[in-house]
Amino acid sequence: MEEAKAYIESGILELYVLGQLDAPEQEEVERMATLHPEIRSEMAAIELAMEKYAMEKAVQPKPQLMNKILQQINAGETLAEPEFKEAVVTPLTADPAPKSLKPLQFALAACLALLAMSIFALYTTHSRLSDANQQLIVMRQDREKFAATVNFMKDENKDLQQINQITTDPTWAKVKLAGTQISPKASLMVYWHKEGKHVMLDNASMSLPENDKEHQYQLWAIVQGKPVDLGVFDADSRPKKVLLDMKAVGNAQAFAVTLEKRGGSPGPTMEKMVLISSI
Amino acid sequence: MAELVRQTVYSIPLAATTKISLTEEQLVQGLKAQDTAAIKALYEQYSGALMGVIIRIIPIEEIAEDLLQDTFLRIWNSTRHYDPSKGRLFTWMMNIARNIAIDKYRSKDFRNGGKNQNIENNVDLINETNEVIFNADTLGIKEMVTKLKPEFNEVLEMVYFKGYTHVEAAEELSIPLGTVKTRIRMAIMELRKHFN
């Protein structure tokens, strides 16, 4: 009895009626009400008072609302029941992530897709760039080759013009060197300007066996019976220049070519003489 | 019992302005049998009282009426969960109505609607306007309530009509939770005296 009285006076029944208690508290009140009839009747009195209070404070809705409600009921419309909501077990450590995670997951997927596309694009661009660089290198080489060719042809043309001039110029001596016994088929044309002491080899008309890497041909002038070094040259099937300037000499009786070690010798090796001229 | 309800309802001419009044037991039986006549009777008896609490929390008539509609649908669909041994039908319905209104008040769409004001202001507004127009016959209760100590009445009003929890009311008024409980109890005691 005392327990029930104290329970009533605690004010918990009022809170129960006002819907202020959580589920365990509600169950507790309901349990107490079944145990103590005076609690049950106190509760009923509170409920009745609140009901009358609410009736007194009533605000009438529009009359047509009734028909709308009936229509919805007949149409079988249902409104989510709060009991079902309460039945859902939500752990205390409920992770609020799943709801907010969904759009994030989409964003992540989108990011990954974008990343993959970017990598692919980057790779494609990179390989194209490599190709382009390769082509650029090839073209630069080509250009250099062409430039070299053009330069060579210019020089060649200049030399040819010079040869043409020389052949018509009487101040230039055109000395033909003929093969000796060891190379009867050899021949070479040397242009010599006596006054200018200018000696040039004509590569275009040269006919000499190609020399190896260890040896070079050496041109000599015979001045008063003594050989004078006029420089070395190579016999090349594809000469870089048509006209080759040699060392100067103003007074020579003859020209000769010997095969010497690369760089030339101070004196001619007579047995390796391949060409000789007489003036 | 469903039969009984039907007979009771249909025995009253449709054109009659008299309110259909059923006992609570009859209403509960009718609801549990999903008898639309019962929801009709329920509406006629209690729609005003339920609207009273909803519109004090959501003071926009259109929205409040939508919520009242929701309340009746939920009552209709959750009838099987109502246990008469635990309390009166009205207490159960009142809590449904209040929860629906509070859910709406706290919902994003309502708050973003720009129509929300301070909840207290809302109620004051309603008290000043709608109540007088809709319910001129509350004068009696007003007189009674003024006899009640205002601080007692204030707490009860906040919890019963304004959608506050008793914890929120304690915070709002800066008084201990125990005092809130006591004041609610005193206010209800006064009401009980008044109605008996």
DSSP string covering B129-161, please? THHHHH-GGGHHHHHHHHHS-HHHHHHHHHHHT
Q: Do A59 and B96 touch (CB under 8 A)?
A: no
In chain B, residues with a C-beta closer than 8 Å to the C-beta of A39 are: none
Q: pLDDT 10s per residue in chain A (279 long)?
A: 678 888 888 889 999 999 888 889 989 999 999 899 999 999 999 999 999 888 888 888 988 888 888 888 888 755 544 444 444 455 555 555 566 677 888 899 999 999 999 999 999 999 999 999 999 999 999 999 999 889 888 888 888 888 888 888 888 888 888 888 888 888 888 988 888 888 988 888 888 888 888 899 999 998 888 889 999 998 887 777 788 889 888 888 889 999 999 988 888 888 888 888 865
Number of domains within chain A: 2
- pLDDT band with cut points at 50, 70 and 90 for residue B50: very high
In chain A, residues with a C-beta closer than 8 Å to the C-beta of B40 are: 66, 70
Structure tokens belonging to residue A175: 């000395």
CB-based contacts of A26: which residues, under 8 Å, 6+ apart? Answer: A16
The Cα of A8 is separated from the nearest Cα of chain B by a number of Å equal to 10
The Cα of A40 is separated from the nearest Cα of chain B by a number of Å equal to 9
Instruction: Give yes or no: residues A174 and A83 share one domain.
Output: no
Q: Do A54 and B191 touch (CB under 8 A)?
A: no
Q: Do A33 and B86 touch (CB under 8 A)?
A: yes
Residue A113 lies in a domain: no
CB A70 within 8 A of CB B39: yes
Interface test with A, best of B58, B62, B71, B72 (most A CBs within 10 A): B72
Instruction: Give yes or no: residues A173 and A271 share one domain.
Output: yes
Nearest CA in chain B to A53: B191
Q: Do B55 and A59 touch (CB under 8 A)?
A: yes
Under DSSP, is residue A253 helix (H, G, I), strand (E, B) or coil?
Answer: coil
Q: Do B69 and A72 touch (CB under 8 A)?
A: yes
Burial group, residue A198, by CB count within 10 angstroms (0-12, 13-18, 19+):
middle
- pLDDT band with cut points at 50, 70 and 90 for residue B33: confident
- pLDDT band with cut points at 50, 70 and 90 for residue B129: very low
Lowest mean pLDDT among A256-265, B106-115, B184-193: B106-115
The Cα of A32 is separated from the nearest Cα of chain B by a number of Å equal to 11
pLDDT value at position B134?
41
Q: Do A58 and B48 touch (CB under 8 A)?
A: yes
- B149 against B69, higher pLDDT: B69
- Residue A110: enclosing H or E segment and its boundaries? helix A97-168
pLDDT value at position B146?
47
Instruction: Give yes or no: residues A174 and A268 share one domain.
Output: yes
Nearest CA in chain A to B55: A59
Q: Do B87 and A47 touch (CB under 8 A)?
A: yes
How far is residue A157's CA from residue A160's CA, in Å, rounded to a whole number?
5
How far is residue A61's CA from residue A250's CA, in Å, rounded to a whole number?
136
Q: Do A82 and B99 touch (CB under 8 A)?
A: yes
Residue A255 lies in a domain: yes
Instruction: Give yes or no: residues A83 and A177 share one domain.
Output: no
* pLDDT exceeds cutoff 60 at B7: no
Residue A257 lies in a domain: yes
* Domain span holding position A254: 168-276
pLDDT value at position B5?
47
Residue B63: how many CA atoms within 13 Å on its side-chain side? 20
Within 10 A of B117 (CB to CB), how many other CB atoms are there? 12
Nearest to A53 by CA among B59, B91, B141: B141
Lowest mean pLDDT among A185-189, A204-208, B41-45, B184-188: A204-208
Residues 70-99 of B with CB under 8 A from A: 70, 72-74, 76-78, 81, 85-88, 90-91, 94-96, 98-99
Q: Which of B74, B98, B165 sits opposite A79 (nearest CB)?
A: B74
Residue A133 lies in a domain: no
**DSSP code, position A201:** E
Instruction: Give yes or no: residues A173 and A83 share one domain.
Output: no
Task: Give B77-110 pLDDT, tens digit per residue.
Answer: 888 888 888 889 999 999 999 999 988 888 877 7
In chain A, residues with a C-beta closer than 8 Å to the C-beta of B137 are: 56
**What's the pTM?**
0.50
- In whole angstroms, what separates CA B157 from the centre of its chain? 12
Domains recognised in chain B with CATH numbers: 1-119 (1.10.1740.10), 137-196 (1.10.10.10)
Q: Do B195 and A49 touch (CB under 8 A)?
A: yes
The Cα of B86 is separated from the nearest Cα of chain A by a number of Å equal to 6
Burial group, residue A87, by CB count within 10 angstroms (0-12, 13-18, 19+):
exposed
How far is residue B89's CA from residue A51's CA, in Å, rounded to a whole number?
10
* pLDDT exceeds cutoff 50 at B17: no
Q: From A71, A87, A103, give the residue that closes a domain.
A: A87
CB A7 within 8 A of CB B86: no
Q: From A87, A122, A154, give the residue that closes a domain.
A: A87
In chain B, residues with a C-beta closer than 8 Å to the C-beta of A9 are: 185
Bridge partner list, A228: A221
Query: Chain A contact for B177, CB < 8 A?
Result: no
pLDDT value at position A79?
53
pLDDT value at position A84?
45
Within 10 A of B7 (CB to CB), how many other CB atoms are there? 10
* pLDDT exceeds cutoff 70 at B59: yes
Interface test with B, best of A53, A72, A78 (most B CBs within 10 A): A53
Quote the ipTM score: 0.74
pLDDT value at position B97?
93
Q: From A87, A112, A135, give the residue that closes a domain.
A: A87
pLDDT value at position A121?
95
Long-range own/partner contacts, residues A187-196 (CB < 8 A, 24 or more apart): A187/A275, A188/A257, A188/A275, A190/A219, A190/A246, A190/A255, A190/A277, A191/A163, A191/A166, A191/A243, A192/A249, A192/A252, A192/A255, A194/A250, A194/A251, A195/A171, A195/A250
Task: Give A5-37 pLDDT, tens digit per residue.
Answer: 888 888 899 999 998 888 899 899 999 998 999
Residue A205 lies in a domain: yes
CB pairs under 8 A between A and B: 151
- A102 against B75, higher pLDDT: B75
How far is residue B49's CA from residue B141's CA, in Å, rounded to a whole number?
14
Residue A51 lies in a domain: yes
